[in-house]
Amino acid sequence: MSALSHFDDSGASRMVDVGSKPITARQARAVGQVHMSPETLQSIVDRRISKGDVFEVARLAGIMAAKKTAELIPLCHALGLDSVAITFTPVDDRTVLIESTVSVQGRTGVEMEALTAVTVSALTIYDMCKSIDRAMSIGPFELLEKSGGKSGHYLRPDRASP
């Protein structure tokens, strides 16, 4: 049918068999953004949001989401992640850049885990701040880099670093 590995020759969905692949060190970095009013971002930075420390709650939500990616994305493999790190960087007075780095010693990559971590972190920021800024927007979300496995190293050509 096609070169898409999640479909068999008849077009039926399938989970790829990674059992015979070697265990290698794998890592992925992803980024996303949350756009908001300058007042909202300043309130987050100053820890004046009534629901609590927005970045810390969003960090925990992103870490938890990365660990549960296989429960959210139907054909992802369940992985025992070695590490998940999430950072928040205001890039101007309206935008927060979220970056996740996920690593594992495994038979399959962690791109989806890195993207899930960033996305859920962004949704958590929105949830915690929606009462003061309903006009917030989230995205785009991008895979910046992945390493390990048969396909080797990938570095997003237009975004070598965040």
What residues are labeled active site? 127
Adjacency order of strands within the sheet including 95-106:
83-90, 95-106, 24-35, 137-147, 154-155
Strand-pair partners of 7: 13
Token pair for 142: 């991008």
CA 160, chain centre distance (Å): 17
Cα-atom radius of gyration of the chain, to the nearest Å? Answer: 17
Tell me the CA distances in angstroms from 107 to 22, 25, 99, one per residue in order: 6, 9, 24
